[in-house]
A and B are shown apart, each in its own frame.
Chain A
Amino acid sequence: MLECRNLVVNYESTPVLQNLSIYIGSGEIVALTGPSGSGKTTLLRCIAGLEIINAGSIWLNAEEITTRPAHLRRIGLVFQDNQLFPHLNVAENIAYSLKIHRVSKKLIDEKVAEVLDLVDLAHLADREVVRLSGGEAKRIAVARALVAQPEVLLLDEPLNGLDKELHARLLEDLGKLLRLRGTTTLHVTHDQDEAAKMADRVLDIRQLLS
């Protein structure tokens, strides 16, 4: 489970998050909505360890991780524009975190194949990342974040800018996948419908500030 207590984040003396607290239970999918500029992305980045917190604490499975560096948090993040590594192909992108954790080559190949199956893109293993379509890239980004079985998965406006049909399809597939793996998820979006469709709980960020 993930908990943030009284987070305060200022950016060059402008307050961005003021006393924010949130709790997500194990295996829960929580959606976070709110207007642009309200600090949703900043919150995700803080949880992932990519931003410095001015005050407050973050807890993962009852352990405090406030000062733990990002690469040791086991928290996955799917970026708005995917950020797939352009110099690696699809399989190599996915295998990236496995290689860091020194998983054996055989096991890596297995896990990559497994997760590519889950997102229905097994045939794209050798494809160059630049040649993926929008929907394909999104799915690979999710696969990459999931393959090392993170404690928590953060989604930053994952379905932004997709056409209606693709949006609906991906939303459904994503929901199924997360439930299958039982991944604790924080899903940030400005779309209320999207939030409602996939999540167990929907929160508005403004409610969380005190």
Chain B
Amino acid sequence: MTSAYRHTTKWLAIAPIAVMLAFVLVPVLNIFSTSLRLDSFAILSAATTRNIVWFTTWQAFISTAIVLVIASPIAAVIANFKFIGRRALISLVSVPFILPTVVVGAAFLELLPRSIHRSALAIIIAHVYFNVGLAVRIISSRWQQIHPQLDDAARTLGASTIRTFLTITLPLLKKSFISAGLLVFLMCFTSYGVVRILGGPARSTIETEIYFRAMQLGDVSGALVLSILQLVVVGILIFLITNIGKAKASPKFGQTVYSRMHHPRSSRQKLLVATVAITTAVAVVTPLMSVLHRSIYLGQRFDTSAWRSVLVDTEIFSSLLTSLRYAIFSIVVSSIVGLLGASAIVYGSSRYQFVNLITSIPIVLSAVTLGLGLIITFDVNPIDWRGSWLMMPIAHCLVAIPIVIRIISPVLRDLPNDLRDASRTLGATTWQMWRTIDLRIITPALITAAAIACAISLGEFGASSFLVRRNNETLPLTISRLLSRPGDSIQAQAYAISTLLIVVCIGIIAIVDYRDSNERGI
């Protein structure tokens, strides 16, 4: 905690708290108080509930472990080597994260052999596909903050490459592994689309069960009970993991990103780089190719009619515009509110740590609960916003803000105070100090966070799908709607739009990365 901003902290905290209060806490309390019945708690003792909790946990756990293992060599290659296509690789590996689950689910149904359809394995494969990019970015950007000469020092002291990695690099990366692991775990634990599409009817996670209870059985109360269960389980896990991380005081990182990257020297290094880069590229691109393939091959015949209909259709074009509009809203609002929230948490005294807690609720809470809460809360004048176009992008922001906070906080936290003190002694006002020191240093993290917020908005399909839609359909909703309709050509249209979405996502990530790396001169 720094004393530099202490007197401003309470102002920083206002926006994030207000947003969470209005759009999360109140709706959630509302739905709980109106629909929750005590007798529904009986479902907690059912064997099926226990099975579901167990399945949800272990598939998330295994997915996370695999993600971290796969992300490590990719992050290693990206952080340490210069090679042709390096920037493209970084962008490429991030693309799956922002794709709508509906599309990726359908792509894997095409791609995976029949024998593993409807299995936990299929779910895990899809989860890994989605989340490797996230882990790679978090770990590699942290890696680049390790001074390359630390590795040199270890080697002159007798450490082989592997030993250096295990005794120097890994401990310094520990926090980033924990951060990445935690985020990925949450994503996998609360994932809905992947489980529904690839898991088949026999696989049920807490999230799908909540949906099923509320929507198919009409048992909203039971669904809320499960929602509480989910909240508690995840809360415990987060608590445990955060406290394990606190055991030993962690070293402060400088704000600099070092140029660790060099051309691969030995043939062993060249082989490593080539293998990792090519395998990663192929693994990421193949499912995307299968989406494209499905849009142009109708029943074994090459046929571009789906594309022709899509490009001409004004409804679909307006869907694209809507998605972009919402994405821009989401980027702006999530980044600002997220930045304020991260600042309040890092600069503030321990009193403000609760901001961290309440801003995390949306990603931990079931989308169904949030969605239903929003519907019944914003229904009285003057805030009958259920029909307002704003509700959907707001729902997107609610999911993005906690992630923005989690990306920015560590960077803010590790900023050495000396820099701020130096600026102060040079006569800077608080505002100038913040602008020239803090803002400059967190800009790369802010850009990453903004990109993620954009991604979340473009692909969001959870809470916002419970809001009624008229003429404000987003692309993922359009795709889902078309996929659920019969007709080969309609299905192909859905895949064509999915391909468009993929291209848009790739473009956004590429632009952000291009700008980001230009700024940092790498």
Cβ contacts B165-186/A at 8 Å (1 or 0 each):
0011001100000000000000
B379 within 8 A of A: no
Cross-chain contact of B160 among A52, A71, A130 (Cβ < 8 A) = A71
A70 to B163, CA, bound (A): 13
A75 within 8 A of B: yes
Which B105-159 residues sit within 8 Å CB-CB of chain A? 147, 149-150, 152-159
A2 within 8 A of B: no
Q: Which of A77-85, A115-123, A185-193 contacts B (4 or more CB under 8 A)?
A: A77-85
Cross-chain contact of B171 among A52, A75, A87 (Cβ < 8 A) = A87
B265 within 8 A of A: yes
On whether the beta carbons of B157 and A96 are closer than 8 Å, the reply is yes
Secondary structure at chain B's binding surface: helix, strand, loop or mixed?
helix
B252 within 8 A of A: yes
Which chain B residue shows the least CB distance to A94?
B157
On whether the beta carbons of A86 and B251 are closer than 8 Å, the reply is yes
Cross-chain contact of A144 among B157, B171, B249 (Cβ < 8 A) = B157
Minimum distance in angstroms from A133 CB to a CB of chain B: 14
On whether the beta carbons of B157 and A76 are closer than 8 Å, the reply is yes
Query: Which range contains the number of B residues in contact with the other chain?
Result: 20 to 34
Known A-B contacts A85-B150, A85-B168; the reply to A75 vs B249 at CB < 8 A is: no
Which B369-404 residues sit within 8 Å CB-CB of chain A? none
On whether the beta carbons of B160 and A83 are closer than 8 Å, the reply is no
Which chain B residue shows the least CB distance to A45?
B152
Task: Kindly list chain B residues whose C-beta atoms are within 8 Å of the C-beta of A50.
Answer: 152, 155-156
Task: Kindly list chain A residues whose C-beta atoms are within 8 Å of the C-beta of B172.
Answer: 86-87
B2 within 8 A of A: no
A130 to B172, CA, bound (A): 14
Which chain B residue shows the least CB distance to A84?
B153
Task: Kindly list chain A residues whose C-beta atoms are within 8 Å of the C-beta of B167.
Answer: 96
Cβ contacts B245-289/A at 8 Å (1 or 0 each):
000011110000000000001000000000000000000000000
Task: Kindly list chain B residues whose C-beta atoms are within 8 Å of the C-beta of A158.
Answer: none
Cross-chain contact of A85 among B153, B163, B252, B265 (Cβ < 8 A) = B153
On whether the beta carbons of B153 and A86 are closer than 8 Å, the reply is no
On whether the beta carbons of A83 and B149 are closer than 8 Å, the reply is yes
Which B416-447 residues sit within 8 Å CB-CB of chain A? none
Task: Kindly list chain B residues whose C-beta atoms are within 8 Å of the C-beta of A169.
Answer: none
Number of residues from A at the complex interface, CB < 8 A:
30
| Total number of residue pairs linking A and B with CB closer than 8 Å | 71
Task: Kindly list chain B residues whose C-beta atoms are within 8 Å of the C-beta of A74.
Answer: 158
Which A44-75 residues sit within 8 Å CB-CB of chain B? 45, 48-50, 52, 69-75
Cβ contacts B465-502/A at 8 Å (1 or 0 each):
00000000000000000000000000000000000000
Cross-chain contact of B157 among A52, A97, A129 (Cβ < 8 A) = A97
A128 within 8 A of B: yes
Task: Kindly list chain B residues whose C-beta atoms are within 8 Å of the C-beta of A79.
Answer: 149, 152-153
Task: Kindly list chain A residues whose C-beta atoms are within 8 Å of the C-beta of B159.
Answer: 71, 96-97, 100
Cross-chain contact of A96 among B154, B160, B249, B265 (Cβ < 8 A) = B154
Cross-chain contact of A148 among B152, B154, B158 (Cβ < 8 A) = B158
A130 to B250, CA, bound (A): 11
On whether the beta carbons of B149 and A70 are closer than 8 Å, the reply is no
Task: Kindly list chain B residues whose C-beta atoms are within 8 Å of the C-beta of A106.
Answer: none
A181 within 8 A of B: no
A145 within 8 A of B: yes
Minimum distance in angstroms from B259 CB to a CB of chain A: 14
A48 to B155, CA, bound (A): 9
On whether the beta carbons of A70 and B150 are closer than 8 Å, the reply is no
Task: Kindly list chain A residues whose C-beta atoms are within 8 Å of the C-beta of B157.
Answer: 71, 76, 96-97, 100, 144-145, 148
A97 to B154, CA, bound (A): 8
Q: Which of A48, A52, A100 has the most CB of B within 10 A?
A: A100
On whether the beta carbons of B152 and A87 are closer than 8 Å, the reply is no
On whether the beta carbons of A145 and B156 are closer than 8 Å, the reply is yes
Cross-chain contact of A77 among B156, B160, B252 (Cβ < 8 A) = B156
Minimum distance in angstroms from B157 CB to a CB of chain A: 4
A141 to B175, CA, bound (A): 26
On whether the beta carbons of A76 and B251 are closer than 8 Å, the reply is no
A75 to B153, CA, bound (A): 11
Task: Kindly list chain B residues whose C-beta atoms are within 8 Å of the C-beta of A76.
Answer: 156-157
Show 24 residue pairs from A and B whose CB-CB distance is below 8 angstroms, ordered by the A residue: A45-B152, A50-B152, A50-B155, A70-B155, A70-B156, A71-B155, A71-B159, A71-B160, A76-B157, A77-B153, A77-B156, A79-B149, A83-B152, A85-B150, A85-B154, A87-B171, A87-B172, A97-B157, A100-B157, A128-B249, A144-B157, A145-B156, A145-B157, A148-B157
Instruction: Write the residues of chain B forming the contact surface with A, with a CB cutoff of 8 angstroms.
Output: 147, 149-150, 152-160, 163, 167-168, 171-172, 249-252, 265
Instruction: Write the residues of chain A forming the contact surface with B, with a CB cutoff of 8 angstroms.
Output: 45, 48-50, 52, 69-77, 79, 81, 83, 85-87, 96-97, 100-101, 128-130, 144-145, 148
Known: A83-B149, A85-B168, A100-B159. 12 other contacts (CB 8 A): A50-B155, A70-B152, A71-B157, A71-B159, A75-B156, A77-B156, A81-B149, A85-B150, A129-B251, A145-B157, A148-B157, A148-B158
